[in-house]
Amino acid sequence: MNYKMIRFIIGWILIFEAIFLMFPAITAIIYGEKRPLLAFMLTVLLCATIGLLLVFRKPRNTVLYSREGFVIVSMSWIVLSLFGAIPIWLSGAIPNYIDALFETVSGFTTTGASIVPVVESLPKSVILWRSFTHFVGGMGVLVFIMAFIPLSGGQNMHIMKAESPGPSVSKLVPRVRTTALILYSLYIAITLIQIILLLFGGMTFFDAINTALATAGTGGFGIKNDSFASFSPYIQIVVTVFMLLFSLNFSCYYLAFRGRIKDFFNSETRCFLTVVAVAIALITLNITLSGNYATVDEALRHAAFSVASIISTTGFATEDFNLWPALSKSILVLLMFIGACAGSTGGGIKISRLLIYGKNAKNELGGLIHTGQVKKVSIDGKSVDKEVIKAVNTYMAWYILIFVASLLLISVENHDPITNFTAIAATINNIGPGLELVGPTGNFAFFTVPSKLVLIFDMLAGRLELFPLLLLFTPSTWKK
């Protein structure tokens, strides 16, 4: 285990966090918020000092193997959250550190589950920081930082593999640095387009930036307590479209730019769009027939928004879907598990993983009938590597184990089963709101500290796709 490299990279993480924290600090200056400004500036100083001390000596041996990649990624995210929570706590916005940590983890992991009862009461700078953590966490921060750290390169692939969502990671161009540059440019460009479109809809500049940042990371922290219910249909539609755009694989955009439209509509994109269309149709039908809405287009708008919000794992809401009929609620809960596409900013199990899982399950069933049958899982005409299938199966096994264990742990608190189940589903899939007590109008404040820690773990595990966090807590990872 290359401890010196871990120290070095953690140092850089803190330096970058100091830079990120400048943005809310500037916001605090603009809005004249004295205590938050002090809190942010103190944290900037703290992060920068510790960071500079850690990177002071560059390690001679810069070789990283896959276990270092996993450890660095999970530790970085934890460090990022621990320090990111400090200003929220110091500013007095959330007086309890564990609550502040919950909020920050929820931000970086793009979950959007909040413990704040009234969002409007928060200082503007804290609101911006919450949205900004979504933006940073959405695309993944380590690959971004690795692109800037003065290292010869070659070490980054293990880190990129550990941090990027999806069953298998491939680069767009030979260099990680250039790949990261392309992905972040796309990310920022699409976000800017959304800001402009929101401004057209009459949103204030501050609201538009926050909304776009939270949508880009498929996070879900709102700027209002009722999320998007009080915004105009135009803004709701813009947000719906961008939530879906951010849940597609970013590589596809690059390929589409290069004129490979066929690669844009690969089987994952097609499957994703089909699921979205079917879910919207069913829910629209269901809520119209049950009489929740007077007109079909109003039902359609809310159904589309909710479906996009849940499947992209954003967690915005225009309506309290807690009040919808059972079929609609069940569909939404199922969408929570499906999640977005690999290589997007969304969470969940991911479409491509489910595709591989399902096809493999089908093949294995066929193998029971025709003993010795050899059949490959193929996606887009390419057979999937055995290692990838193995990793997907292992992922699913751990996913279920963690889910069940977390469910048991928080059930100690004696809330109703639906609340518990959807609370875990909403955190491990990085969505935000669940049903009942944790529904769109509720929040996570009522959980006790141990349960909050369980949920914090679930959010991180979900965002980092289980393995990095699991390996961090496996003793043999640390053995020499």
Partner 1 sequence: MNIIIVGCGRVGETLAEQLNGEGNNVTVVDVEPSRVNTISAKYDIMGVTGNGAMLSVLSEAGINNADLMIAVTGSDELNLLSCVVAKKIGNCHTVAQVKNPVYSSEIQYLQSELGISMVINPELAAAREISRVLRFPSALNIETFAKGKVEMLKFRVPEGCALDGMSVKDVIVDLKCDVLICTVERGNEAFIAKGDFVFREKDVVSMIASPKKAHHFFNKIRYSSGAVKTAMILGGGNITHYLCDELSNTGIGIKVIEDDMAMCDALADALPDITVINHDETDRDILLEEGLKTVGAFVALTEIDEENIFLSLFAKGVGCNKIVTKINRVDFDDVTQRLDLDSTIYPKNITADMIVRYVRAMKNAKGSNVETLYNVIKGEVEAAEFIIREGFTALNTPISQLSLKDNVLIASIIRNNKVIIPRGNDVILPGDAVVIVSKTLALHDITDILK
Residues near partner 1, by CB under 8 A = 66, 152-154, 156-158, 161, 170-178, 385, 387
| Least distance from partner 1 to the Cβ atom of residue 8, Å | 18
| Minimum distance from residue 65 beta carbon to partner 1 (Å) | 9
Q: Where are the alpha helices (DSSP H) in 217-350?
A: 233-246, 250-257, 261-264, 267-289, 296-311, 326-338
d(C-alpha 239, C-alpha 237), whole Å: 5
Our CB check for partner 1 shows the closer of 175 and 415 to be 175
Whether the CB-CB separation of 62 and 3 falls below 8 Å is answered with: no
Q: How far is the CB of 202 from partner 1 (least distance, A)?
A: 44
Q: CA 3 to CA 6: how far, in whole Å?
A: 5
Amino acid at the residue 420: N
Q: Looking at beta carbons, which pairs linking 45-50 to residues 24 or more positions away fall under 8 Å?
A: 45/18, 46/83, 46/86, 47/14, 47/15, 47/17, 47/18, 47/21, 47/83, 48/14, 48/15, 48/18, 50/11, 50/14
Nearer to partner 1, 176 or 198 (CB): 176
Tokens at 261, concatenated: 């439209």
* Number of neighbours of residue 178 by Cβ within 10 angstroms: 13
Nearer to partner 1, 224 or 262 (CB): 262
Nearest distance from C-beta of residue 387 to partner 1, angstroms: 8
The DSSP letter of residue 384 is P
What's the min distance (Å) between Cβ of 385 and partner 1? 5
The per-type count for the chain, helices as H runs and strands as E runs, is 21, 2
Measuring CA to CA, how many Å separate 138 from each of 53, 142, 309? Answer: 28, 11, 15
Q: Least distance in Å: CB of 68 to partner 1? A: 12
Residue 243: half-sphere exposure toward Cβ, Cα within 13 Å: 30
Q: Which is nearer to partner 1, 23 or 70 (CB)?
A: 70
| Nearest to partner 1 of 44, 160 (CB atom) | 160
What's the closest the beta carbon of residue 260 comes to partner 1, in angstroms? 9
Residue 49 or 178 having the CB closest to partner 1:
178
Packing angle, helices 326-338 and 417-428, rounded to 10: 30
Rounded Cα distance between 218 and 430, Å, is 9
Q: Contact 89/96 with Cβ under 8 angstroms? A: yes
In whole angstroms, the minimum distance from the beta carbon of 167 to partner 1 comes to: 13
Shortest spacing between CB 20 and partner 1, in angstroms: 25
Least distance in angstroms from the C-beta of 15 to partner 1: 22
The smaller minimum CB distance to partner 1, of residues 180 and 303, is found at 180
CB of 161 to partner 1, least distance (A): 7
Cα distance between residue 141 and residue 135, in whole Å: 9
| Structure tokens given for 60 | 């001679």
Between 120 and 380, CB nearer to partner 1: 380
Cα 311 off chain centre by: 12
User: Of 158 and 329, which has the nearer Cβ to partner 1?
Assistant: 158
DSSP letter at 452? Answer: H
- The residue among 125 and 179 lying less far from partner 1, judged by its C-beta, is 179
Which is closer to partner 1, CB of 178 or CB of 274? 178
Of 389, 398, 396, which Cα lies nearest the Cα of 360?
A: 389
